[in-house]
């Protein structure tokens, strides 16, 4: 038979290792692939670990629940006083008498209770007393740098306030967790909310909603309306920072938090849309501090407390709990000297009956040791019980031309050149014509006016500093780069968060609202040859005899010595022959700069000797409305400027504060080509002296001002 394509009876040759299948047997069922033994072992291990973890967690929970009891009230609930001391150990003040009056929950209006819940725990009535998920989320946000968050329910916060403390530790959080669970089994939600409202800290030394109602609105809690309750609820997040009368610069943040609370009430159905639409921010009354903090004591305590909380030494609630002994850097003798200088040069001359604008005069001053960065004296106002806001630390008045030295420092630091490529030195010529538009700026056109619209023509940088010529410094800021000017100011000590510290040509004219203390710190850096150590107000803190850790303050070279010292050289000329000649009464080598805020609402003198940097500012504020007001006519003068009373206070304080120590000259290392600047010869006496002072707008009574530029080198350089 011929071969075919079908099957064949001829057996196939066998391959090694292969046996033909018996066709009479059925095919074996397919077998599932065997799971690798290694994978099964891993799964068993994971399952075992999961079970073990669950058992451990259950055991830990059981142990924690059994071992952690509800403790008695903590120290904050029965708080002590804090003691504040001068550097020599003599007392400044004792603060911390607790202002608390417990109320029943039914005394708190429903809208106020709901505002607190909208701010702190909107699911309070329906959620468990602890929220593990929120705690984990808060811990993760804290670890990853998204901000410290508590993740706590109102019950947990009440436990922290009344039974534990404010320290951020795992042990405290664990105790808080178990106590809250036990408390939730023993007390109703209403009991817990009542306890929370009576123990929470609202600022102004007010513990509890009743004390807060009296402190902020001068009424009992029953009389609060919903908008007022929403503001008090907003305070719980940051009590002092959101006090809009104490920190007017934070008003926008406080109002935003208040809006958040009201919007949350609408979301939860607790507030009608119509009522929300008509709600207006309820401005609280001015704080009325305890009389034990009268005079300067309250200002000093307030500044020290702010330093401790801002630098993370103690949080606000822990500090308010009391029991701390705080030694400051303030020197009693110098403190008294500063107060006396203000009294002699300003307070004793005020007569509101003669000059109504005398009602507006406020004084702020601060002195910093240039070698250590320690604040040795501070003047906050006429009396803490009368003017609550500390004029030495507030950040809402323009610093004016006291900012200009930072522009020149930035120029030397960066080796900046004019628009024509010439180096900027004290001898560089600029056009000081009034309303001259700046060149080289890509933003909106900018043509600043000089004081009283004076024009100077070609003028050297040193002379322009003496006379505080705005057009020169606005152009110089563009030549240097406004962003670099801003960075230099921050490096010297001006906080980066300062309002209106904007990188534009106007930065040179001082629209920024740094505090007197901020500026004293920055000028101290110039005096210390560019070496900056963050200022400090605190020498040591103890509680129960145990020291509290303070932040380290390593000094750093903020700008080069040549940049700082060359700036000092031109600021010496300001005192010797410019707008700050009144400072010569200190009887020592000195450098300084005058400044005036827009509309003459503030006048500044910032100056230093090799040992001491001091800044003094007069500010205009209506005592009733709180609005900033011009100082025209105050002290019986047509206008107040930095070369007048501020420089006079500076000179008297500096002379007395350094009495008994030999005068020291500045040891300057100048930039190449900027030899020691000779003084500008004074203008001859004549009938035009008074008019000349008025033209510059910054020299005080009796000051002699010259328009003559500094002696020029043989080959002057020309700026834009």
User: Minimal CA–CA distance to 617: which of 632, 602, 598?
Assistant: 602
Burial class of residue 3 (count of CB atoms within 10 Å of its CB; 0-12, 13-18, 19+): exposed
Residue 401 among the catalytic residues: yes
100, β-bridge pairs: 207
Secondary element (H or E) of residue 365: strand 361-369
C-alpha–C-alpha distance, residues 426 and 305, integer Å: 42
User: Minimal CA–CA distance to 650: which of 706, 600, 579, 558?
Assistant: 579
C-alpha–C-alpha distance, residues 96 and 195, integer Å: 21
- CB–CB of 444/691 below 8 Å? no
Tokens of 429: 């010529």
Residue 120 among the catalytic residues: yes
3-class secondary-structure state, position 418: coil
3-class secondary-structure state, position 378: strand
Burial class of residue 457 (count of CB atoms within 10 Å of its CB; 0-12, 13-18, 19+): exposed
C-alpha–C-alpha distance, residues 2 and 490, integer Å: 105
- Helix 404-414 / helix 561-577 crossing angle, nearest 10 deg: 140
Q: What string of H, E and C letters represents the secondary structure of 175-202?
A: HHHHHHHHHHHHCCHHHHHHHHHHHCEC
Q: Which of 152, 401, 468, 506 is catalytic?
A: 401
Question: Which residue shows structure tokens 């305890």?
Answer: 290
Residues 6+ apart with CB under 8 A from 323: 75, 79, 80, 81, 82, 543, 544
Return the DSSP state at 643: B
Cα–Cα–Cα angle for 6, 12, 14, rounded to 5 degrees: 155
Tokens of 424: 């900027």
Question: Which residue shows structure tokens 């809006």?
Answer: 259
Per DSSP bridges, beta strands 538-543 and 82-85 are unpaired
HSE-up (13 A, CA, CB side) for residue 132: 4
Tokens of 483: 């962003």
540, β-bridge pairs: 327
User: Minimal CA–CA distance to 444: which of 359, 375, 535, 506?
Assistant: 506
C-alpha–C-alpha distance, residues 684 and 687, integer Å: 10
User: Minimal CA–CA distance to 428: which of 439, 420, 436?
Assistant: 420
Strand locations in 175-297 (E): 206-207
C-alpha–C-alpha distance, residues 43 and 37, integer Å: 10
Tokens of 655: 């002379």
Q: Which of 120, 305, 576, 648 is catalytic?
A: 120
3-class secondary-structure state, position 701: coil
Per DSSP bridges, beta strands 99-100 and 206-207 are parallel
Q: How many helices (H) and strands (E) does the chain have?
A: 21, 16
C-alpha–C-alpha distance, residues 645 and 205, integer Å: 36
C-alpha–C-alpha distance, residues 575 and 584, integer Å: 7
3-class secondary-structure state, position 166: coil
- CB–CB of 287/387 below 8 Å? no
What residues act catalytically?
Answer: 120, 401
């Amino acid at each position: 038979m011929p071969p075919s394509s079908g099957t064949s009876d001829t057996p196939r040759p066998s391959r090694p290792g292969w046996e033909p299948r018996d066709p009479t047997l059925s095919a074996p069922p397919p077998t599932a692939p065997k799971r690798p033994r290694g994978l099964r072992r891993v799964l068993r291990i994971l399952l075992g670990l999961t079970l073990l973890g669950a058992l451990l967690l259950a055991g830990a929970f059981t142990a924690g629940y059994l071992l952690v009891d509800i403790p008695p009230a903590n120290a904050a609930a029965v708080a002590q006083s804090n003691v504040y001391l001068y550097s020599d150990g003599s007392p400044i003040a004792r603060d911390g008498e607790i202002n608390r009056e417990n109320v029943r929950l039914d005394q708190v209006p429903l809208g106020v209770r709901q505002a607190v819940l909208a701010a702190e725990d909107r699911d309070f009535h329906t959620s468990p007393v602890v929220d593990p998920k929120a705690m984990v989320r808060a811990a993760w946000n804290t670890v990853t740098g998204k901000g410290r968050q508590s993740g706590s329910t109102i019950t947990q916060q009440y436990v922290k306030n009344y039974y534990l403390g404010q320290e951020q530790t795992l042990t405290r959080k664990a105790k808080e967790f178990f106590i809250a669970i036990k408390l939730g089994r023993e007390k109703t939600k209403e009991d817990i909310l009542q306890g929370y409202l009576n123990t929470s800290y609202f600022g102004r030394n007010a513990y509890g909603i009743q004390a807060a109602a009296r402190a902020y609105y001068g009424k009992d809690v029953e009389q609060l309306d919903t908008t007022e309750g929403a503001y008090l609820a907003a305070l719980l997040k940051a009590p002092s920072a959101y006090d809009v009368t104490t920190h007017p610069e934070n008003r926008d943040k406080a109002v935003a938090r208040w809006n958040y609370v009201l919007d949350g009430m609408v979301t939860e159905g607790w507030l009608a849309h119509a009522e929300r639409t008509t709600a207006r921010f309820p401005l609280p009354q001015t704080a009325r501090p305890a009389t034990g903090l009268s005079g300067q004591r309250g200002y000093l305590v307030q500044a020290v407390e702010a330093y401790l909380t801002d630098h993370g030494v103690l949080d606000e609630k822990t500090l308010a709990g009391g029991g701390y002994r705080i030694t400051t850097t303030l020197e009693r003798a110098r403190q008294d000297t500063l107060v006396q200088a203000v009294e002699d040069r300003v307070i004793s001359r005020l007569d509101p009956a003669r000059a109504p604008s005398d009602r507006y005069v406020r004084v702020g001053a601060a002195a910093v040791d240039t070698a250590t960065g320690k604040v040795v004296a501070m003047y906050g106002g006429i009396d803490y019980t009368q003017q609550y806001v500390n004029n030495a630390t507030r950040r809402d008045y323009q610093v004016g031309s006291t900012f200009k030295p930072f522009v020149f420092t930035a120029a030397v630091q960066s080796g900046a050149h004019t628009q024509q490529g010439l180096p900027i030195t004290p001898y560089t010529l600029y056009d000081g014509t009034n309303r001259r538009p700046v060149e080289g700026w890509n933003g909106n056109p900018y043509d600043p006016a000089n004081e009283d619209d004076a024009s100077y023509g070609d003028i050297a940088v040193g002379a322009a500093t003496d006379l505080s010529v705005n057009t020169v410094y606005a152009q110089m800021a563009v030549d240097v780069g406004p962003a670099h000017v801003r960075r230099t100011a921050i490096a010297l000590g001006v906080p980066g968060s300062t309002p209106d510290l904007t990188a534009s040509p106007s930065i040179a004219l001082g629209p920024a609202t740094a505090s007197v203390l901020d500026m004293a710190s920055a000028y101290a850096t110039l005096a210390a040859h560019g070496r900056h150590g963050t200022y400090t107000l605190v020498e040591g803190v103890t509680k129960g005899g145990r020291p509290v850790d303070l932040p380290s303050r390593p000094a750093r070279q903020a700008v080069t010595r040549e940049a700082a010292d060359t700036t000092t050289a031109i600021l010496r000329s300001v005192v010797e022959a410019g707008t700050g000649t009144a400072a010569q009464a200190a009887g020592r080598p000195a450098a300084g700069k005058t400044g005036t805020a827009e509309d003459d609402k503030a006048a500044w003198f910032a100056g230093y000797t090799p040992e001491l940097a001091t800044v003094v500012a007069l500010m205009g504020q209506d005592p009733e409305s709180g609005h900033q007001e011009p100082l025209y006519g105050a002290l019986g003068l047509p206008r107040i400027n930095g070369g007048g009373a501020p420089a006079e206070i500076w000179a008297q304080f500096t002379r007395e504060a350094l009495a008994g120590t030999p005068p020291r000259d500045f040891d300057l290392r100048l930039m190449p080509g900027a030899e020691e600047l000779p003084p500008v010869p004074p203008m001859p006496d004549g009938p035009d002296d008074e008019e000349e002072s008025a033209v510059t707008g910054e020299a005080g009574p009796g000051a002699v001002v010259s328009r003559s530029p500094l002696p020029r080198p043989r080959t002057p350089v020309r700026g834009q």
